[in-house]
Amino acid sequence: MDTCIEKIRTICADLLAKGEVQKVIGFAEGSIPMASRPIAVTAKADVEKLVFNSFCGLNLANYVADGLPKEGKIAVLAKGCDSRNLVTHMVENQVSRDQLYIIGIPCTGMVDKRKIAALFEDDITDFSEAGDTLTIVSPQKKETVSKKEMLRHNCRMCTHRNPVVFDVMAAEPVEEQTLDQPFADVDRIAAMDPDERWAHFQELTKNCIRCYACRNACPLCYCPTCFVDESAPQWVGKGQDKTDINTFHFLRAFHCAGRCTDCGACVEACPMGINVRDFTRKLNKDALELFGWEAGMDMEKRPPLDVYSPDDPDDFIK
């Protein structure tokens, strides 16, 4: 991938020097292999800290709503999925278009760190990439793999790699992929009988520690008080009762229904690597099939669960 980091740094240095934006939200190098760290750069000299590589898997739209100055703009780096979340933020009145300077980055996907770590029996000490080739080193061995083989699942299923809204693009657009079976994973679960499906979800969340990293990494979860934190009335228990764990995950997925861009930040953030997308993907599929809807593609339209249209497929409302 053209990590286009030089172009990104030039754009940012320019924006900051001219005072066009007060800060740039991007990624910085992490302190351990395969890590990156969201960062806010305010001084032109600090743009050297910005990086962009194949493990910038978090969604920077998550940092936008809280980081707005009273006046003026902020710049934010946005991959395809991030840009769609910015659209959703704008449609939902969390930020207005004129508060943002969006640096669009066409993205060929982020790698699955756990899949890479599983190639080794010991800890990885170094990681480098050149185009599609990833070179990973540990005390025991060195591996060279193709990035395509190591992509995160949501990146393999991605049909919006190019940003849908931007003020400037940091690189040439990349080719969008077409998928034969965009929801094979959802179909597999849907084909299970209820008992199997229940068991699948119990197994999925067996190691959940209610850290809420998934919720907090998600740009959609910006409620001042999340439903799990309400006390009057208390909707969800705070303990490790399976019912409460299930309630959190299922209900959060429903709150994201029709809004989720499958950016994968939730799975990336989870310290247990739980594929919580099993909860949200079904709803993404439903939004597409029932409402012809994909989140964050249209600045003029509100998500389907927000609006009523006389063409809604369901009859009961008539």
Partner 1 sequence: MNFITIDKKDWAGGIDKSRKTFQVFGPVQDENGCQIKPLAPDLYPLMDAGVTTVMSPKSVLFPQTEKMLTATLDASHEDHHVMKPVEKADTPRAVLGIRPYDARAIQLVKLNFDNPDYQDPYWCGACAATTFVGLGVNRPGPCDFSTSTGCGPFSEEGLDVLLADLDDRYLAKILTQKGETWAAACGFDTKADAAESQALFDILKKEAEKNITASVDTDRLSEKSLLDLHEAPFWEDVAFSCINCGTCTYVCPTCWCFDIQDETKHKTATRFRNWDTCMSPLFTHHASGHNPRESKVQRVRQRFMHKLKYFVDKYDQGIMCVGCGRCVASCPVNIDIREVCKTMNNYEKE
Partner 2 sequence: MENPYVPYPVRIDDIEVATEDKSLKTFTFVFLNPGDEEKFAYKAGQFAELSIPGVGEIPIGIASSPVEKGFVKFTVFRTGVVTSHLHNMKKGDIMGIRGPLGNWYPWEDLENKNVVIIGGGFAFTTLRSSIVYMLDPANRSKFKNIDVIYGARSPGMLLYREELFDWEKRDDINMHITVDGTDDPDWKYHTGFVPQVVEQNAPAADADTFAIVCGPPIMIKFTQPALTKLGFQEDQIIMSLENRMKCGIGMCGRCNIGKELVCKDGPVFTLEQINRTPKEY
Residues interacting with partner 1, by CB under 8 A? 30-33, 35-40, 58, 62-63, 66, 121-123, 125, 139, 207, 209-213, 215-217, 229, 237-241, 268-274
- Find out whether 136 and 113 touch, Cβ atoms under 8 Å: no
In the list 66, 232, 300, 310, the residue contacting partner 2 (rule: CB under 8 A) is 232
Instruction: Give yes or no for residue 231 binding partner 2 (CB under 8 A).
Output: yes
Report residue 77: phi and psi, to 5°.
-80, 135
Cβ closest to partner 1, residue 271 vs residue 292: 271
Stretch that binds partner 2, among 113-121, 226-234, 254-262, 287-295 (CB under 8 A): 226-234
Stretch that binds partner 2, among 49-57, 150-158, 230-238, 282-290 (CB under 8 A): 230-238
| Tokens 């300077």, located at residue | 101
Cβ closest to partner 2, residue 194 vs residue 233: 233
- By a kind-dependent CB cut-off of 5 to 8 A, residue 273 interacts, out of partner 1, partner 2, none, with partner 1
Instruction: Give yes or no for residue 239 binding partner 2 (CB under 8 A).
Output: no
CB of 224 to partner 2, least distance (A): 17
Pick from 111, 186, 114, 190: which is nearest to 155 by CA?
111
CB of 63 to partner 1, least distance (A): 8
CB of 234 to partner 2, least distance (A): 8
Cβ closest to partner 1, residue 20 vs residue 121: 121
Cβ closest to partner 1, residue 33 vs residue 303: 33
Report residue 127: phi and psi, to 5°.
-145, 130
Instruction: Give yes or no for residue 140 binding partner 2 (CB under 8 A).
Output: no
CB of 37 to partner 1, least distance (A): 4
CB of 180 to partner 1, least distance (A): 27
Cβ closest to partner 2, residue 45 vs residue 232: 232
Stretch that binds partner 2, among 182-190, 197-205, 228-236, 257-265 (CB under 8 A): 228-236
- Find out whether 8 and 77 touch, Cβ atoms under 8 Å: yes
Q: Which residues bind partner 2 (CB under 8 A)?
A: 231-232, 234
